[in-house]
Structure 1
Amino acid sequence: MKKSRILGVAVVATLAMGISSSAFATNGYQLIGIGQYAIGMGGAVVAAPDDPLSAAISNPAGLALLAPQAAFSAEIFNPTRKTNLGFGEIGSHTNIYGVPAIGWVAPAFGDGIVFGGGVYGTSGLGVNYLQQVPSQIPGYPNSYAQAFSSINFMQMAPSIAMKVDHHLAVGATLNIAAEQASFQQTMTEYAPGTIQTQNGPINMPVGLTGGLNLSSPSWAYGVGFTLGALYKVNDMVTLGFTYKSPIWFTPLTWQAGAQNTVAQSGPNAGSGAMGTSGQYSGRLNYPQQVALGLAIRPTKSWLISVEGQWINWASTLNNFKIYGPWTAYNGGSPVGGISDIALPTHWKNQWVASIGTQYDVNNWLQVRMGYNYGSNPIAANNIGNNLIFPAVVENAITFGSTQKLGMGWKLTEAYMHEFGNTLTGSAGSSPFGGAMPASATLAENSFGLQVGYDF
């Protein structure tokens, strides 16, 4: 029997302000929008921000055009995740998560200058798979494969904006963020063994675990910035631009036991690395991105907004390096100590296109809908290295509405449906040596409610 069929693990691992939410994954592992107005517009708000939530996170210049106000959003996020680890398709546990956000804007520092911002759950992703595998030795316990990941990402975004003239507004945001990450991809198998007791040796099955296990949560803290501009060409056309820098994080650190990423089967059998008990670390920055938008008002009551976005995932998730007390192996023999191993996630840069439209039915009711497409950052031939990082969805539709309740109060709702998508690898792509090819499936739904108040 093989003592361990592991690995070639590729993983890293949603945020919530005090709420467990390891499951967001729309554009990569970034939500298509923050707040229910942005979601109802399919995320196309760079040229048409309409509340503090959509402005501070998408285009801070929009804050300069808003009346003093505050908004609170609460969203229920429901992803459906399935995988084939090589032994048949299984689903992930826990499929309901909460996503909160709060934002505000108020005058500051003189005419035309405002201060605003918010605190958001902006992104994340995670899975939790556990599957029994029939033992290869009659009478011995079943083996089991375990795959787990969690990224929780929280952002605070103090912003300042200024209306330069009746055409141009500019803004800037300081992105202060915290992220929590943990992940595991292991196989435990049983082999004949001898246990020493005070009454002498006893023959019994011994569990042998191989893989990467950094499942204890670790926090890191980072900072970046956003620059935005809005240019009103005329009463019908507005242009929007946003540049978000990377968010540079401190290292994640884990105190962990022994690690074993030496492949026991396939073309790389006998190669990989083993690590002793000790401290492991890795740095997971958030990617830079650029967005351009165009908002058109064919009539006073009708808004159409389109947006194109580029997200630089390749700079942060091409190879995720894990530093620690590693020893490299080749052909089953140790070849020397190394400082790190690189998990070959190999994410590509992502292009996102979105369109949203809003219609003012009357003085108190607005309705909207949107569509969001994000190119897949993961290639099918690399899905075996991303089974616990399955950001594979591409197409989403959204619907929303706002009711102006009077005395400054307004209520906004939105629904998002992300169509299911499956990526399947080639034969032999199972990281656990399973007979079936590796695959990952993801679909998503969300419903949110937002309360706003104009001062």
Structure 2
Amino acid sequence: MKKTKILGCAVAAAIAAAAFSGSAFATNGYQLIGIGQYAVGMGGAVVAAPDDPLSAAISNPAGLALMHPQAAFSAQVFNPTRKTNMGFGEIGSHSNVYGIPAIGWVAPAFGDGIVFGGGVYGTSGLGVNYLQNVPANPRGFPYGGYAQAYSSITFIQMAPSIAMKVNDHLAVGASLNIAAEQGSFQQTLTQFAPATVIQPGVGQVNTVVPVSSGLNLSTPSWAYGVGLTIGALYKVNDMVTLGATYKSPMIFTPLTFQAGTQSAQLPDGSPVQGASGQYSGRLNYPQQIALGIAIRPISRWLVSIEGQWINWHNTLNNFNIYGPWQGTGVVPLGLHWQNQWVANFGTQYDVNNWLQVRAGYTWGSNPVPNTSAAIAANTIFPAIVQNAITFGATQKLGMGWKLTEAYMHAFSNTMTGAPGSAPFALGDPQQAASSTLAENSYGLQVGYDF
């Protein structure tokens, strides 16, 4: 009874923490390379070598069938560095520290060889917060102004899972992916313009007032979706294990926004205006496939290699925004994301009976094409890093307790468009759209074997 209460409190805490955590964590597009610090330390290469409920329920639920009853709680600090040029020189984002919680468990159920597990996770996200003052100048800003770009995408996922050990070689499993996503977006330009106002007791007064244009859907909106993960592990022999998973698309309800007047561009480049009212857009999560092989050259040494395919093109080629647009009911924002290929490599060595050390490397093709249109459109979606290294360790503390740490560094990547391509270049031929992203994360995980 006491263990059940403790686990229930931990789940509630994880849900609350995920709901209020920031949303700028990404590596493969806007998906984390791994859930939990074991997976991070292995560079995300765990589809053939899951080792705890966190890495199994998300990456390959079949791994749950091979685990003793246990629970794990992970806390990760994510620190991205982002820069862009909106048309007035390069500027950095004003938010750069985020928390990512996760909790998972596994226990016997329904008979010999069948287990139930799962968890609650912050699985992916993306976000920037740019604000740049524009001083008064003769190039369209005689009274000055400011540019603002903001995005926030957060995914919180529950993954109740069931797994079965079919025989000494084969294990299979499935997870029901139940998720909530929060989204909000803004990319606006505000200019100060002369105006005459009436002040009580004074009369007419000449002043300047802010006049904004652009897309402003910055009030957070929530949507809810569901999908499925199926996985299998096949132990060829004591040295080699194969793993495979398929994640279906996660279909979400629409994000809805009550917003003021809007302005955007149609695919042919012509401007379009929107009246005040309700706007909506559907942001689904992509289907993906992962295949892996885990090799133990000796009993103490594990090498894991994994390949992934992520179907971003079907979800973020266009982001359709429905609403009271003039002359049309929908404006497709062309983000132009393409499908992504990912390669993960991880290795672990058991130093002794209580210490394991590990390291990993991940490479992913860039989902954002190297074109000026795509770079400009993704100023607030800069998911462009391609190379990351990871390090981690686990200490077995005795009495069922273990402690796991991990560090990740994603190397900086910069994309720059043609001169004049910045979102608010306003005819300045020198202002090119650009995005720069680098990432660091630091994580700690506590596990307990029942």
Aligned to 1:222: 225
In 1, the alpha carbon distance for the partners of 2:268 and 2:223 equals 34
1:165-205, CA deviations, whole angstroms, 9 ceiling, x for partnerless residues?
Answer: 10100000000000000010000012233334555443322
2:423 is the counterpart of 1:431:
yes
SS of the residue 2:20 aligns to: coil
How many angstroms apart in 1 are the aligned matches of 2:210 and 2:353?
Answer: 68
* Residue 446 of structure 1: aligned partner: 441
2:305–2:344 Cα contact (<8 Å) kept: yes
Q: Which amino acid aligns with 2:299?
A: K
Aligned to 1:400: 392
Whole-Å separation in 2 of the counterparts to 1:362 and 1:445? 29
| 1:346 partnered with 2:331 | no
Residue 185 of structure 1 aligns with which residue? 187
Question: Secondary structure at the residue paired with 1:61?
Answer: helix
Helix, strand or coil for the counterpart of 1:426? strand
- The Cα of 1:380 is off from its aligned counterpart by 2.4
Give the drift of 1:270.
Answer: 8.4
Q: CA deviation at 1:27?
A: 0.4
Q: TM-score, normalised by structure 1?
A: 0.91
Match of 2:5 in 1: none
Separation (CA, whole Å) in 2 of partners of 1:32 and 1:136? 45
In 2, are the aligned partners of 1:16 and 1:154 still within 8 Å (CA)? no
Task: Give per-residue Cα distances to partners, 1:107-161, cap 9 Å, x unaligned.
Answer: 0000000000000000000000000112245995421100000001100000000
Please tell me whether the aligned partners of residues 135 and 190 of structure 1 are also in contact (alpha carbons under 8 angstroms): no
Does the 8 Å CA contact 1:140/1:205 hold for their aligned counterparts?
Answer: no
Give distance in 2, aligned partners of 1:46 and 1:374.
16
**Quick one: structure 1 residues 270 and 39, their matched pair in 2 at CA, closer, same or farther if it must change by over 3 Å?**
closer
Percentage identity across paired residues of the two chains: 73
Q: C-alpha separation between the residues in 1 aligned to 2:401 and 2:342?
A: 33
The residue that corresponds to 2:177 in the other structure is 175
Q: Which has the higher contact order (CA 8 A, sep 6+)?
A: 1
Structure 2 unmatched runs, 5+: 1-15
1:8-407 paired onto structure 2 within 5 Å: 17-136=18-137, 141-197=143-199, 200-261=203-264, 271-327=270-326, 337-381=327-371, 382-407=374-399
Please name the residue that 1:10 is paired with. Answer: none
Provide closer, same or farther for how the CA distance between residues 385 and 235 of structure 1 changes in structure 2, counting only shifts above 3 A: same
CA distance in 2, matches of 1:54, 1:99: 15
3-state SS of 2:57 partner = helix
User: Does the CA-based 8 Å contact 1:135-1:189 persist in structure 2?
Assistant: no
CA distance in 2, matches of 1:67, 1:379: 44
Deviation at 1:95, TM superposition (A): 1.1
For 2:135 and 2:86, locate their aligned partners in 1 and report how far apart those are by CA, in whole Å. Answer: 14
Residues 294, 318 of structure 1: CA spacing in aligned structure 2 closer, same or farther, 3 A cutoff? same
Deviations 1:48-105 (A, max 9, x none): 0000000000000000000000000001111111111121111101211111000000
| Alpha-carbon distance change, 391 to 270 in structure 1, aligned in 2, over 3 angstroms | closer
3-state DSSP of counterpart to 2:63:
helix
Gaps of 5+ in 1: 1-14, 328-336
More helix by share: 2
Cα offset for 1:16?
Answer: 5.6
Counterpart position of 1:4: none
Q: CA deviation at 1:410?
A: 0.5
Instruction: Provide the C-alpha distance between the structure 2 equivalents of 1:338 and 1:269, rounded to a whole number of angstroms.
Output: 14
Opposite residue 135 of structure 1, the aligned amino acid is A
Letter in 2 for 1:142: G
> What is the match of residue 331 of structure 1?
none
Amino acid paired to 1:233: V
Range moving further from structure 2, 419-428 or 433-442:
433-442
Query: SS of the counterpart of 1:261?
Result: strand
Query: Which residue of the partner structure matches residue 417 of structure 1?
Result: 409
Report the TM-score, using the length of structure 2 for normalisation: 0.92
Q: Is the 8 A contact 2:195 2:206 kept in 1?
A: yes
Count of residue correspondences: 428
CA contact (8 A) 1:74 1:99 kept: yes
